[in-house]
Chain A
Amino acid sequence: MKKAMVLACALALSLFAAVGPALAGNLVVYTALEDDQIPTYLESFKKAHPDISVTIVRDSTGVVTAKLLAEKDNPVADVVWGTAATSLLILQGEELLEGYDPKGIERVLPEFKDSASPVRWVGIDAWMTAFVVNEIEMKSKNLPHPQSYENLLDPKYKGLVVMPNPASSGTGFLTVSAILQLFGEEKGWAYLDKLNENIAVYTHSGSAPAKLAGTGEYPIGISFGYRGIIQKRKGEPVATIFPKEGSGWELEANALIKKKEIKPEAKIFLDWAISDAAIAEYSKNFAIVSVPGIGSVPEGFPADPVKQMVRNDLVWAAESRERILDEWNKRYGMKETR
């Protein structure tokens, strides 16, 4: 009994001792990239820079952002990699980002990077709104797949459609903001009013609608393209449909964290993260990457993905965010469950 306790105490102490120093001399990278993508990307980095050790902290966009904001006084992260640009805009507002032009920044399309010089953030790829539809359920209900936002309003889809709550999900917000930009604010809200009639549930996360569609819980999920395509690859009976009117989209972007001692390795990492080799890796998963002319469009995406994107003013979206969410909550926040 006593021995066991001494042993356990020693274990606790050694844990404490072992993990602490591991942080020094190590590049800490915060990211919201998908777990199944990170190892392949990092392999490419290891090949180019075998001497730099990288520690990845991965979580959902919201958690990564909250963590960075909470650590503001004494940042732990050196680099943010592949995290929503709207989140980086919040960090930028808190003066948490250091301007740095990574090598080859001139190749990045202007709408994919900060307008200041040196840039405070630079995009690597974009993800877009898509409907993920369960083929088996739709067939058994004898319903056609919706092809456009307009289609979704059809009363026959009543109670079958799920979309993410824009207050908790980045995907939800980019979809709402795209609809408002696409139709204009007044018509946009009128559209969302009608869509609300057909929505069964507003989910917490942006990938949840796609997952619910995959298991047939709710056959139509408004989610993002990558999710549906991956689920299809894993064997789920889903079709991924990009709406005819165009998709809302958002960038995944990188930034350098402002801190007292900026490690030279951080800049090397950011240089690599928009290099041809890295972009080629991203392009295997994303139809749109920030440097044109690298890789080909992966299976399942529209042939000309750039055309699919609606005109999206990220800065407008970031500035109007609070106003849009307030309005959204007023209209649909207390929706009763059917």
Chain B
Amino acid sequence: MPLRSFFRHVIFLPLFAPTMMHGIGMVYLFGNKGLLTALGLRVGLYGPVGIILSEIVYTFPQAFLILLISLSTSDYRLYEAAESLGADSLRKFRTVTLPGVKYGLANAFIVSFILAFTDFGAPKVVGGNYNVLATDIYKQVIGQQNFSMGATVGILLLLPAVVAFCVEQYMRRQQGGVINARSVPYRVRPDKMRDAVAFLYCGSVAFCIVGLLGVVVFAALVKVWPYTLSPTLDHFSFRYVAGNGLETYLNSIAVAAASAVAGTLFVFCAAYLFEKTRRFSPARRVGRFLALLPLALPGLVIGLAYIFFFNRTVFPLPGGIVLPNPFRGLYGSAAILVLANVVHFLSVAFLTATTALRKLDDEFEQVGESLGVPFYRIFTAVTVPMCLPAIFEIALYFFVNAMVTISAVVFLYPPGFKLASVAIVNMTDAGDIAPAAAMSVLIVLTNIAVRAVFEGVTGSVRRRTAVWMRSEGV
């Protein structure tokens, strides 16, 4: 299919943009004065329709990421076997492809469901009067300062995470390693008809995404939307608005970089220990459950919980013992932002890591063991190189999310250390939509640039380590 890598990159764009940007784009396209509305396409944006549209855009790249990792590591030998047994393509799809990505498919479904369930940005901007739990929490906590009611609703939001964990456990029993030491990667054979259909589909998806974000770029470059459409670059100066020059932008980059490094190290090591060790099975199960939990936590809850925990001077223990809080210093420093980001975005990163690790056969460890190679050698010499694509995706995932996140960090940023994403919300609150759009554009460009650098620098590494993908097994 032509333009494959282009599509692959475009699909990640929504992840690169602050949710506010999606909201602004939706309103400019489908709102009562929107471009498409003016052309006669009335969708009734404010309400469930708007929420569903936004959530599709918002969850698309996340589901895509999980499915991509899942599909890209399928074993070609199975297809060959199916073919030699005379299976047609439908049957191949049903008996080889689907079972192979079952785990990824279920994860993608669960992740999308929970993300949409707990998302607050879209319902706030385009939800109209349609009440969802996530906005209810906001009304309780921010509108009425009713923390206990907010906490109660927060627990309700956790229920899907429990369901997700049960499903995950069930699927885990169903599927062991698919890639083993003798695997051969999937090879795509040319097929004009299939490619044309795929091209059409990818093209329309890409068109929707580019259109949505493009209209925001446009809004950042005109004077007063939608009445004075003369071009201007004024909005990029960020004077007299919450942007505070470019300071917030640089703060965001520093925090995002730190979050990417800390998060990736932590997640991959944790996932490895959970997947590839054999002792302490109950503890590993608890760990897996805990790793999935943050997915269902609204950032608001994480933010406030962190204040409650890290800002305490002492913890009274039963029996009259008073324990001074050793983590007190974190609150009011930028490190707490990194910590909050790592926890907040742990789940999808963790799922990506486990999906990749699960695909690797345990044989590698067993062979290593029998040859007397210590586990850390296997880890650095086999596991890490083979999972490198997943590791890079995880790092990038942490980076871009840290760039755009708002809900948790709005409570945690230290005085004098504001982040660009928070500035965007403040700007939209103050009615400075155009500078907010401009800052969003800057963030998107940064994320694209970081992605490009990632791919450039690591391209050679990947070529070296992905040798197995081209040759006949390892």
Seen from chain A, the residues whose Cβ lies within 8 Å of a Cβ on chain B are 1, 5, 8-9, 11-12, 15-16, 18-20, 22-23, 26, 28, 34-36, 39, 55-60, 62-63, 65-67, 69-71, 73-74, 76, 90, 136, 165, 167-169, 200-202, 204-205, 207, 210-211, 214-218, 227, 230-231, 234-237, 322, 325, 333-337
CA distance A229 to B332 in the complex (A): 36
**B46 — which chain A residues lie within 8 A by C-beta?**
200-201, 337
5 smallest A-B Cβ distances: which pairs? A62-B142, A337-B47, A12-B258, A168-B143, A16-B335
State whether B143 touches A236 (Cβ < 8 A): no
> In the complex, which residue of chain B has the Cβ closest to the Cβ of A61?
B142
The reply on B438 being an interface residue by CB < 8 A is no
The reply on B298 being an interface residue by CB < 8 A is no
> In the complex, which residue of chain B has the Cβ closest to the Cβ of A172?
B143
Choose, from B9-17, B123-131, B275-283, B443-451, the stretch at the interface. Answer: B123-131
State whether B130 touches A337 (Cβ < 8 A): yes
Neighbour of B334 across the interface among A15, A67, A210, CB < 8 A: A15
Choose, from B62-70, B285-293, B303-311, B347-355, the stretch at the interface. Answer: B303-311
**B430 — which chain A residues lie within 8 A by C-beta?**
34-36, 207
State whether B311 touches A202 (Cβ < 8 A): no
Instruction: Contacts A12-B335, A34-B430, A56-B415 given; indicate if A216 touches B226 (C-beta within 8 A).
Output: yes
Neighbour of B411 across the interface among A9, A67, A200, A235, CB < 8 A: A67
Interface residues on B, range: 35 or more
CA distance A74 to B331 in the complex (A): 11
Least Cβ distance of A1 to chain B in Å? Answer: 7
The reply on B426 being an interface residue by CB < 8 A is yes
Seen from chain B, the residues whose Cβ lies within 8 Å of a Cβ on chain A are 27, 31-33, 44, 46-48, 124, 128-131, 135, 138-139, 141-145, 147, 223-228, 240-242, 254-255, 257-258, 260-262, 265, 304, 307-308, 311-313, 328-329, 331-335, 338, 410-411, 414-417, 422, 426-427, 429-431, 433, 461
**A235 — which chain B residues lie within 8 A by C-beta?**
223-224, 228
Neighbour of B142 across the interface among A28, A66, A218, A234, CB < 8 A: A66
Instruction: Contacts A62-B143, A74-B311, A76-B311 given; indicate if A35 touches B415 (C-beta within 8 A).
Output: no
**B414 — which chain A residues lie within 8 A by C-beta?**
19, 22-23
**B433 — which chain A residues lie within 8 A by C-beta?**
211, 215
Least Cβ distance of A168 to chain B in Å? Answer: 4
> In the complex, which residue of chain A has the Cβ closest to the Cβ of B224?
A235
State whether B225 touches A215 (Cβ < 8 A): yes
CA distance A82 to B198 in the complex (A): 57
Apart from A16-B335, A215-B226, A334-B131, list 4 A-B contacts with CB within 8 A. Answer: A20-B333, A22-B414, A35-B241, A215-B31
State whether A20 touches B258 (Cβ < 8 A): no
CA distance A165 to B313 in the complex (A): 37
> In the complex, which residue of chain B has the Cβ closest to the Cβ of A57?
B415
CA distance A181 to B228 in the complex (A): 41
CA distance A113 to B254 in the complex (A): 43
**B225 — which chain A residues lie within 8 A by C-beta?**
215
Neighbour of B32 across the interface among A217, A230, A336, CB < 8 A: A217
> In the complex, which residue of chain B has the Cβ closest to the Cβ of A202?
B129
Neighbour of A71 across the interface among B255, B307, B328, CB < 8 A: B307
CA distance A81 to B46 in the complex (A): 35
14 contacts between A and B (CB under 8 A): A5-B265, A20-B329, A23-B414, A57-B415, A59-B426, A70-B304, A70-B308, A73-B312, A136-B227, A211-B433, A215-B226, A217-B27, A322-B144, A337-B46
State whether A214 touches B431 (Cβ < 8 A): yes
Least Cβ distance of B219 to chain A in Å? Answer: 10
State whether A36 touches B240 (Cβ < 8 A): yes
Neighbour of A204 across the interface among B48, B135, B332, CB < 8 A: B135
**B27 — which chain A residues lie within 8 A by C-beta?**
215, 217
Most buried by A among B31, B124, B416: B416
State whether A230 touches B431 (Cβ < 8 A): yes
State whether A325 touches B144 (Cβ < 8 A): yes
Instruction: Contacts A20-B333, A23-B415, A231-B431 given; indicate if A204 touches B124 (C-beta within 8 A).
Output: yes
CA distance A90 to B142 in the complex (A): 13
